[in-house]
């Protein structure tokens, strides 16, 4: 099951050239771009691991694509996303976030229903991959 999170997630995966152009758009708007990775695709897993520092002072997107490829060398089987932070007052948050790398196989999520008081149902989802400990979830 294909994980869809962030912007562009219903589009086919971007090529490096397309990533470059999106990142250049962010940089031209004055947003700080950074790279993050994780092997826990749960939608409530908000804070992923940072790959290096946010890149504040690179005028060209080639730097981000370069770092992305460095990250892929080590975490090529993880989810990697690019986020753009807008520091302008009144916003001070993420403007754009999109996945740029995903595992070759995505087993999806397990939906469990728990019957509670009054025959109400509580739902929860768990990624199948998180049965394994961190670091050995994706090949």
Residue 36: closest CA among 21, 23, 51, 22: 51
Instruction: Candidates 40-48, 61-69, 87-95, 121-129: pick the segment binding another protein (CB under 8 A).
Output: 61-69
Report yes or no: 85 and 97 within 8 Å, Cβ to Cβ. no
* 19 sits near another protein (criterion: CB under 8 A): no
* 73 sits near another protein (criterion: CB under 8 A): no
User: Least distance in Å: CB of 129 to another protein?
Assistant: 31
* 57 sits near another protein (criterion: CB under 8 A): yes
Report which secondary-structure segment, H or E, holds 50.
Answer: strand 49-55
Residues found near another protein in the complex (CB under 8 A): 17, 55, 57-63, 66-67
């Amino acid at each position: 099951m294909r994980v869809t999170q962030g912007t562009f997630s219903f589009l086919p995966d971007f090529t490096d050239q397309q990533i470059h152009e999106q990142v250049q758009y962010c940089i031209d708007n004055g947003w700080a771009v950074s790279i993050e990775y994780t092997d826990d695709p749960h939608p409530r897993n908000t804070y992923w691991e940072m790959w290096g520092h946010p890149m504040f002072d690179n005028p060209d997107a080639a730097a981000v694509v370069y770092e992305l490829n460095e990250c892929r060398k080590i975490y090529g089987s993880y989810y990697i996303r690019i986020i753009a932070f807008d520091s302008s007052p009144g916003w001070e948050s993420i403007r754009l976030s999109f996945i740029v790398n995903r595992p070759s196989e995505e087993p999806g999520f397990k939906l469990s229903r728990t019957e509670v008081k009054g025959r109400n149902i509580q739902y929860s989802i768990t990624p199948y991959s998180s049965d394994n400990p961190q670091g050995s979830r994706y090949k």
